[in-house]
């Protein structure tokens, strides 16, 4: 498949991101939902696209404040269904429309959550090709898990893919508080602050409410809320320990790393070089595409991304 390269009205990275994330029409997907109890007594909701037993399976981890209802999730699951494959989307804790039970939520390096969910899904899929994809935050988590597991990941995942993953969280954190990219940071900050303050009513003392209210950037919010709630010493500790970039040389599962060079969430200079990834990682950095945008044509289609992922999963190229 040819790499993505948009032109015309959607060549701008911000239009790519906004249209792909908010305005692009999405196909109707009928999910079957299962509620799973987590090992620590919480719950998550996993949405399935069922198909014939013995067919390949595509699993997706969504991005920050996303869900199985995100446009990219609908497009990927619809494309898998049309191919006769099965699929699933893992809704991170608190992202399925109902608050989770525990004080914790989810974060960019939550590979413990990834590990038990992937192994459970692999058991459900059976002895068939099992493909795992992650978008943005979910992509970073998946890449880190693949690196941590090394050869052992081959027993679980046949091929993997990460789309618009902020592999260097420190760089992404700074990017999201400068220039036009700060618009996206403020958008996430608004929704995260609302949900976290709501959680504070159920779990008093979980974090410093005043610091959370005063946070003006996503980095400040992560320092005030995300880091302490999930056991990190602060934002620098969180970003350092949760970033997937140091783990990329350890990946032993064929994996597609797809990031646009104009992604406003991660400047091009921080994308990994060929010598910073393992031979099993295929890096693909189109000139354009924004952040999980990849919009082509007019009035705008985002069908390239699911086609690219399924092509890689099936053919490894």
Work out the number of other CB atoms within 10 angstroms of the CB of residue 214: 11
Catalytic residues: 136, 263, 291
* 271, 246 Cβ separation under 8 angstroms: no
* Peptide bond before residue 299 is cis, with ω within 30 degrees of 0: yes
**Three-state secondary structure call for residue 308:** helix
Positions of E strands within 123-196: 130-135, 159-163
Give the closest residue to 301 by CA, choosing from 3, 60, 54, 9. Answer: 9
CA–CA distance, 20 with 309 (Å, rounded to integer): 16
Give the closest residue to 306 by CA, choosing from 23, 153, 55, 83. Answer: 83
Number of H helices, E strands in the chain: 11, 8
CA–CA distance, 141 with 117 (Å, rounded to integer): 12
């Amino acid at each position: 498949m040819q790499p993505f390269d948009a032109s015309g009205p959607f060549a701008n990275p911000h239009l790519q991101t906004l249209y792909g994330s908010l305005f692009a029409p999405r196909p109707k997907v009928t999910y079957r939902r299962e509620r799973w109890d987590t090992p620590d007594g919480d719950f998550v909701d996993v949405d399935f696209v069922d198909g014939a037993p013995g067919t390949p399976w595509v699993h997706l981890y969504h991005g920050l404040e996303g869900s199985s209802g995100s446009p990219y999730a609908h497009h990927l699951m619809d494309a898998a269904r049309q191919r006769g494959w099965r699929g699933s989307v893992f809704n991170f804790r608190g992202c399925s429309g109902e608050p989770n039970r525990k004080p914790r939520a989810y974060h960019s390096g939550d590979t413990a959550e990834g590990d038990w969910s992937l192994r459970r899904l692999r058991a459900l899929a059976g002895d068939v090709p099992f493909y795992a994809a992650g978008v943005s935050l979910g992509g970073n988590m998946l890449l880190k898990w693949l690196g941590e597991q090394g050869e052992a990941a081959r027993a679980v995942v046949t091929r993997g893919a990460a789309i618009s993953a902020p592999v260097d969280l420190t760089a992404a954190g700074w990017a999201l508080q400068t220039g036009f990219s700060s618009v996206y940071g403020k958008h996430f900050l608004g929704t995260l602050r609302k949900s976290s303050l709501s959680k504070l009513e159920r779990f008093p003392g979980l974090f410093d409410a005043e610091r959370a209210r005063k946070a003006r950037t996503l980095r400040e919010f992560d320092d005030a809320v995300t880091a302490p709630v999930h056991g990190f010493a602060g934002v620098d500790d969180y970003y350092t320990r949760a970033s997937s970039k140091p783990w990329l040389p350890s990946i032993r599962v064929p994996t597609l790393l797809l990031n646009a060079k104009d992604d406003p969430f991660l400047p091009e200079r921080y994308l990994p070089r060929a010598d910073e990834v393992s031979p099993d990682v295929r890096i693909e950095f189109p000139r354009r595409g924004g952040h999980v945008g990849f919009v082509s044509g007019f009035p705008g289609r985002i069908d390239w991304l699911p086609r690219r992922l399924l092509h890689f999963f099936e053919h490894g190229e």
